[in-house]
Amino acid sequence: MKLFSALIVVSIYLMVSCGPSGKSPVAEEVSSDTIRYARGITIDRYEEYTAVEVHDPWENGQLLQRYLLIDKAKELPANLPKGTIVRTPIQKIAVYTSVHVAIIDLLQSADQIIGVCEPRYMDTPLVQEGLKQGSIVDLGEATSPNVEKMIDVGAEIVIASPFQNSNYGAVEKIGIPIIEGADYMESLPLGRTEWIKFYGLLLDKEALADSLFAATEKRYLALKKLTTAVTSRPSVVAEKRFGSSWYVPAGDSYIAHLFRDAGADYLFHDLPGAGSTPLAFEFVFDKAIHADYWLLKYNHPEDISYTDLRKEYIPYEDFDAFKNRNVFGCNTGNTPYYEEFPIHPDYLLKDFVRIFHPELLPEYTLRYYKPLTDTGQREDE
Query: Is residue 284 assigned to a domain?
Result: yes
In a domain, 5, yes or no: no
Task: Please check the confidence at residue 23 and state whether its pLDDT lies above 60.
Answer: no
Is the pLDDT confidence value at 199 over 60?
A: yes
- Are 176 and 113 in the same domain? yes
Mean local confidence (pLDDT), 141-165 = 95
- What is the average per-residue pLDDT within 214-232? 97
Question: pLDDT at residue 377 above 70?
Answer: no
* The pLDDT of residue 1: 38
Kindly state whether residue 378 falls inside one of the protein's structural domains. Answer: no
pLDDT interval class at 30 (50, 70, 90): confident
Instruction: Please say whether the dihedral angle defined by the alpha carbons of residues 368, 210, 100 and 111, taken in this order, is positive or negative.
Output: positive
Is the domain of 236 the same as that of 338?
A: yes
Q: Do 45 and 147 lie in a common domain?
A: yes
Domain containing 245 equals 231-371
Q: Does the residue 6 lie in any domain?
A: no
Whether 51 maps to a domain, the answer reads: yes
344-353: string of b/e by CB count within 10 Å (b at 16+)? Answer: bbbbbbbbbb
Q: DSSP letter string over 217-256?
A: HHHHHHHHHHTTT-S---EEEE--EETTEEEEEPTTSHHH
pLDDT given for residue 123 in this prediction: 83
What integer is the mean pLDDT of 359-377? 90
Main-chain dihedrals φ then ψ at residue 235, nearest 5 degrees = -85, 150
* The domain boundary residue, chosen from 216, 242, 264: 216
123 & 260 share domain: no
Which residue among 153, 186, 216 closes a domain?
Answer: 216
Same domain for 194 and 51, yes or no, is yes
Same-domain pairing of 73 and 204 = yes
- Say which CATH number the domain at 238 has: 3.40.50.1980
- Do residue 212 and residue 356 come from a single domain? no
Residue 8 has pLDDT above 90, yes or no: no
In the prediction, which pLDDT does 27 show?
A: 64
330: three-class secondary structure by DSSP: strand
Contacts of 375 (CB under 8 A, 6+ apart): 305, 306, 307, 308
The answer to whether residues 190 and 266 belong to one domain is no
For residue range 230-275, list pLDDT tens digits in order. 999 999 999 999 999 999 999 999 999 999 999 999 999 999 999 9
Q: Is residue 9 part of a domain?
A: no
Q: What percent of the chain has pLDDT over 90?
A: 85
Q: Are residues 61 and 154 in the same domain?
A: yes
- Within a domain: 132: yes
* 196 plus 84 within the same structural domain: yes
Packing angle of the helix pair 254-261, 206-226 (nearest 10 deg): 50
Q: pLDDT tens across 50-88, in order?
A: 999 999 999 999 999 999 999 999 999 999 999 999 999
Phi-psi region of 221 (alpha: psi -120 to 50; beta: other; left: phi over 0): alpha
| DSSP β-ladder status, 84-88 and 235-238 | unpaired
Which residue, of 154, 188, 216, is where some domain finishes? 216
On whether both 212 and 250 belong to a single domain, the answer is: no
Q: How many domains does the chain have?
A: 2
Q: Which of 371, 342, 21, 50 is nearest to 190 (CA)?
A: 342
| Residue 5 in this model has a pLDDT that exceeds 60 | no
Give the pLDDT score at 29. 81
pLDDT of residue 208: 98
**Whether residue 180 is found in the same domain as residue 257:** no
Does residue 2 sit within a domain? no
pLDDT tens digits, one per residue of 299-344: 999 999 999 999 999 999 999 999 999 999 999 999 999 999 999 9
Question: Who has greater pLDDT, 97 or 15?
Answer: 97
For the chain, helix (H) and strand (E) counts, in that order, are 13, 18
Identify the band that residue 13 occupies on the pLDDT scale cut at 50, 70 and 90.
very low
The band of 24, judged by pLDDT with boundaries at 50, 70 and 90, is very low
* Mean pLDDT, all residues of the chain: 91
Q: 48-86 b/e with 16+ CB inside 10 Å = b?
A: bbbbbbbbbbeeeeeebbbbbbbeeeeeebeebbebbeb
| CA-CA-CA-CA torsion sign (228, 230, 231, 235) | negative
